[in-house]
């Protein structure tokens, strides 16, 4: 008879610990808008100091009625927002970078062509002047 009572109390104690751990996980993983009545730290302390009553109170009064249950897996992105999680794109995969390269290349080509044309005009002018000098009779 006595060993049956010890087993029952041990089982109830274990159930109380499991309930407290579940309540702590739920409390710590709840979003700020899902926590009611008290701040998160107050709920954590109540659950720690009064495991049975605090756990039941958390599930009855502490969580928002439509709140989702505590997550068992890591959240998508490990808790980072989409903006924080966005990784830099490799240059050859970034369309903006590729278009800026094409624009820069086009500008450089146009500038190079303009310089060649200027150089060609200058050389042609020098040749004309040189021929004009040769065509004039010496005085």
Q: How many of the other CB atoms lie within 10 Å of CB of 70?
A: 15
In the DSSP assignment, the letter for residue 77 is G
CB neighbour list of residue 55: distance below 8 Å, 6 or more residues apart: 16, 19, 20, 22, 23, 47
Instruction: Tally the domains of the chain.
Output: 1
115 located within any domain? yes
In the DSSP assignment, the letter for residue 65 is T
Kindly state the average pLDDT of the residues 99-126: 93
Residue that wins the pLDDT comparison between 25 and 63: 25
Q: At what angle do helices 40-49 and 2-29 cross, to 10 degrees?
A: 170
pLDDT tens, position by position, 52-104: 999 999 989 888 766 555 555 555 555 566 655 666 667 777 788 888 888 99
97 located within any domain? yes
123 located within any domain? yes
Domain of residue 102: give its range: 91-138
């Amino acid at each position: 008879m006595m060993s049956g009572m010890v087993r029952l109390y041990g089982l109830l104690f274990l159930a109380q610990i499991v309930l407290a751990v579940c309540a702590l996980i739920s409390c710590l993983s709840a979003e700020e808008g899902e926590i009611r009545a008290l701040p998160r730290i107050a709920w954590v302390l109540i659950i720690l100091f009064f495991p049975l009553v605090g756990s039941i109170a958390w599930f009855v009064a502490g969580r928002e009625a439509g709140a989702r249950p505590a997550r068992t897996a890591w959240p998508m992105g490990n808790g980072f927002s989409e903006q924080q999680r966005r990784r830099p794109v490799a240059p050859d995969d970034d369309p903006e970078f590729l278009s800026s390269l094409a624009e820069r290349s086009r500008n450089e080509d146009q500038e190079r062509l303009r310089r060649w044309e200027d150089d060609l005009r200058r050389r042609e002018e020098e040749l004309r002047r040189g021929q004009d000098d040769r065509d004039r009779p010496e005085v």
